[in-house]
Amino acid sequence: MTTEGPLDILSGVNLDIKAGESVAIIGVSGSGKSTLLGLLAGLDAPTSGEITLAGETLTRLDEDGRARVRAGNVGFVFQNFQLLPGLTALENIMLPLELSDHPEPAREASALLDRVGLAARSTHTPRQLSGGEQQRVAIARAFATRPKVLFADEPTGNLDTATGARVIDLLFSIDHERATTLVLVTHDENVAARCARRIYLDAGRVVERR
């Protein structure tokens, strides 16, 4: 709601994403990409419509119910990395593992840190890492709980082109290895081109599908 009455941020969006598929959501700033991502991941609830994730109808669940669905099914990579500054690289990766009661969070996190090429930086805090390194830690964290779906919100938005490309390579390579469904929000055509399917959004409506 706004002072001018109801405002539709998204409308008439019909979307089906199959397991293992990779989908890019593309659009300019304010087109509703991040809002759509938030809804798909169950971080927010739509005012109308229905969303099903991993067999659960999110729109019938309250926030805690959606949290239950997110747990174990969903991983996230964000534009601003969202690493916790007080924790080391390793601890940041351990966090979702600890939360899902993983029997050996430290060992699993170390293996992932190694996989993203940062084994030597395990005790470093985010402040001591470059932007690219931080995003690699974030990718490791996103895959830590072996989610069925990975949501990535502008993963290269805060990185220079070269670093961004390396991070995207890493993201897709782990995604393939683990056959994870990928939903990626971006405004970068080159990044979007690596996904199997692309959905273009404009002013809250799907304008094109490729």
* Residue 91 Cβ vs other proteins, minimum distance, rounded to whole Å: 6
Please tell me whether residue 148 binds other proteins under the rule CB under 8 A.
no
The dihedral formed by the CA atoms of 150, 154, 160 and 163, expressed in degrees to the nearest 10: 10
Pattern 158-177, other proteins, x by CB under 8 A: --------------------
Burial class of residue 112 in the structure, from the number of CB atoms within 10 Å of its CB (0-12 exposed, 13-18 middle, 19+ buried):
buried
Give me 112's structure tokens.
Answer: 């992932």
Please tell me whether residue 29 binds other proteins under the rule CB under 8 A.
no
Please tell me whether residue 34 binds other proteins under the rule CB under 8 A.
yes
Stretch that binds other proteins, among 5-13, 36-44, 162-170, 189-197 (CB under 8 A): 36-44
Find the binder of other proteins among 19, 28, 67, 193 (CB under 8 A): 67
CA 105 and chain centroid, separation: 21
Please tell me whether residue 82 binds other proteins under the rule CB under 8 A.
yes
Three-class secondary structure assignment of 74-100: EEEECCCCCCCCCCCHHHHHHHHHHHC
Residue nearer to other proteins on the CB measure, 4 or 101: 101
**Lookup result for tokens 């099903």:** 52
d(CA 126, CA 157): 17
Please tell me whether residue 43 binds other proteins under the rule CB under 8 A.
yes
Please tell me whether residue 140 binds other proteins under the rule CB under 8 A.
no
d(CA 178, CA 135): 19
d(CA 43, CA 60): 14
Please tell me whether residue 143 binds other proteins under the rule CB under 8 A.
no
* Residue 12 Cβ vs other proteins, minimum distance, rounded to whole Å: 22
* Residues near other proteins (CB under 8 A): 34, 37-38, 41, 43-44, 63-64, 67-72, 74, 76, 78, 80, 82, 84, 86-87, 91, 95-96, 98-101, 127, 145, 153
